Amino acid sequence: MKETLLTGWTFVRWLRLIIGGYFVLNSIHERNYGVIMVGSLFIFQALTNTGCMGGACGVPQNGKTNTNTDPDVVEFEEVTKE
């Protein structure tokens, strides 16, 4: 967790932190406490580097790689009934 907090700070993470801080501080100032939740979500995403803003999300790899480079060729396996 400490490594996630201290490394990998990109422009998008800083932007999320700034936007979240703005929402939280502005909502406290304006006494609009419902917006604090939105700002807190942005801050949480910035600190934990989660969410799908700026390519931070990814699909986990299942270990299989596609060796086929031609998108028109479809590989299949024929199943026969015994």
pLDDT tens digits, 3-60 = 777 777 888 889 999 999 999 999 999 999 889 999 999 999 899 888 776 665 655 5
pLDDT of residue 60: 55
Structural domain contains residue 35: yes
In 1-82, alpha helices (H): 2-6, 11-30, 35-48
Structural domain contains residue 59: no
Structural domain contains residue 65: no
pLDDT of residue 28: 94
Structural domain contains residue 63: no
Residue written as token pair 């800083």: 14
Structural domain contains residue 10: yes
Is the pLDDT at 64 greater than 70? The verdict is no
Compute the half-sphere exposure of residue 42: CA atoms within 13 Å on the CB side of its CA.
18
Domain that holds residue 9: 2-48
Structural domain contains residue 55: no
Domain count, the chain: 1
Residue written as token pair 């400490």: 2
pLDDT of residue 26: 95
